[in-house]
Amino acid sequence: MSDAAISRAVHPWWASRRLGFLAAALVIAALPMMLTGNYWQTNLTICAINVLLALGLDFILGYAGQLNLGQSAFYGLGAYVSTLLITRLGVPFWAAFAAGVAFAGLAGMILATFAVRLRGHYLAIASLGFAVITYQILLNWINLTQGPLGIYAIPPPPAITIPGLPAISFRNPVALFYLVAGVTLLVYFILDQLVRSPIGETLTAIREDEVSAASLGINTALWKVFAFGVGAAVGGAAGCFYATFVGTLVPDAFFITESFTILAMVIVGGMGTLIGPVFGAVLLTLLPEVLRGVGDLRLMVYGAVLTLVVLFMPGGLVQAARVVGARLGLSR
């Protein structure tokens, strides 16, 4: 048998993984054509932003095992830092985007450095405290953020001009969806590489048993800071896109309940997998839209679903799919 054949036999998933990314790219390309109209295209972009948020939290919670209730803060920091750089200082969009992502990631690392000795519940409360402080700062630092009045008329990303082709303007909602979804797919790819590398194994070792991991010579503090940095930066990217997509910013979009919503997406999808939170985010974004009748009870549905999933199917949709797959005799 050739090396390649052995490799294929040992890693049969490699081939299908590439196929999976190709299929995902095709689905993303096809979605705006199948679901036309402003209403659906708006929802598609919100789905993509929420997937990004859920992926960031899942990296911290599902892989490193750290319960981060501060994702709303990183989301808000990414949104406000990038927007203020664009509207106040006239910084170009992509530079402001990079700054927003970097700022959120750095904030995550600083919080983790503070909280790195803490585990489980203490970390949950420290991160919740961070989210409360961030929200209050956004609300009260009126000279900078305009507080509850909000920031208006945030421009879309600048048009991309490729010589010989018509310019791609992001005032077009479909183009903006392709941009956000494309970046989300890229983030998924990077995270997928990360979690299947030795780094991913290190993080899961910390999640399963921090003391044993430390006794094997793993610098657990360093890796937790790393996981927080990556997850928070991804949350920050979602914030940048949110600001430019919605066009207005108010602190209430980043209240601590947003952290719980993102948590529900990760748990419902299946934490500790990357594909789970993608479906969790899409499901919980579209579910209230499908159930238009419940109206204001949107968040009540989130809460109920979150509790029921933890109680009866803690592996989320991924676990449900495996159970169904096993029943149908599809799994290995």
Partner 1 sequence: MTATIVAQQAINGIVLGSLYVLVALGLTLIYGVLVQINFAHADFVTLGAFAAYFVMHALGGQYLLGIVAALLVGAALGWAINITVFAPLRRKGNELLPLIATIGVSVMLQNAMLAWFGPVPYAFETPYSQKVFRVAGTFFTLQSVIIIAVSATTIALLYAFMKFTFLGKALRAVAQDRETAGLMGINPNTLIMLTIVISSALAGMGGAMLAPVLVLTPFAGASVIVKAFAIVIIGGFGNVEGTILAGLLVGLIESFTTQYLDPGLIDIVVFGLLLLMLAFRPTGLISERREENV
Rounded CA gap, 234 and 105, in Å?
8
Structure tokens at 56: 């960031």
Is 161 a residue that touches partner 1 (CB under 8 A)? no
Q: Which amino acid is at 124?
A: A
8 Å CB contact between 41 and 32:
yes
Q: Which part of the chain contacts partner 1 (CB under 8 A), choosing from 156-164, 192-200, 281-289, 290-298?
A: 290-298
| Binds partner 1 by CB under 8 A, chosen from 47, 52, 85, 124 | 124
Cβ atoms of 297 and 290 within 8 Å: the answer is no
Q: Which of 300, 323, 324, 330 binds partner 1 (CB under 8 A)?
A: 300
Please tell me the distance from the alpha carbon of residue 105 to that of residue 230, in angstroms, as a whole number: 6
Q: Is 54 in the site for partner 1 (CB under 8 A)?
A: no
| Binding track, positions 245-284, relative to partner 1; x by CB under 8 A | -----------xx--x--xx--x-----------------
Query: How many residues make contact with partner 1 (CB under 8 A)?
Result: 43
Closest residue by Cα to residue 226 from 194, 266, 254, 181 = 194
In whole angstroms, the minimum distance from the beta carbon of 140 to partner 1 comes to 4
Backbone region of residue 164 per phi and psi (left: phi > 0; alpha: psi in -120 to 50; beta: other values)? left
DSSP annotation of 260: H
d(CA 330, CA 332): 7
Element (H, E) at 75: helix 71-89
- Asked if 128 touches partner 1 (CB under 8 A), the answer is yes
How far is it, in rounded angstroms, from Cα 263 to Cα 105? 18
Query: Least Å distance between CB 30 and partner 1?
Result: 34
Consecutive H or E run containing 329: none
Task: Choose which of 95, 159, 291, 304 interacts with partner 1 (CB under 8 A).
Answer: 304
Among 216, 297, 326, 330, binds partner 1 (CB under 8 A): 297
Interacting span for partner 1 (CB under 8 A) from 7-15, 32-40, 135-143, 192-200:
135-143
Q: Using the rule CB under 8 A, is 306 a contact of partner 1?
A: yes
Which is closer to partner 1, CB of 172 or CB of 257? 257
Q: Which of 126, 179, 233, 240 binds partner 1 (CB under 8 A)?
A: 126
197 binds partner 1 (CB under 8 A): no
Distances (CA, A) of 66 to 61, 123, 147, 255: 5, 7, 31, 20
Is there binding between residue 60 and partner 1 (CB under 8 A)?
no
Residue window 75-114: x/- pattern of binding to partner 1, with contact defined by CB under 8 A: ---------------------------------------x
As a whole number of angstroms, the distance between CA 313 and CA 309 comes to 5
42: buried, middle or exposed (CB in 10 Å: 19+, 13-18, 0-12)? Answer: middle
Binding site for partner 1 (CB under 8 A): 65, 67, 114-115, 117-122, 124-126, 128-130, 132-133, 136-137, 139-140, 256-257, 260, 263-264, 267, 296-300, 302-308, 310-311, 314
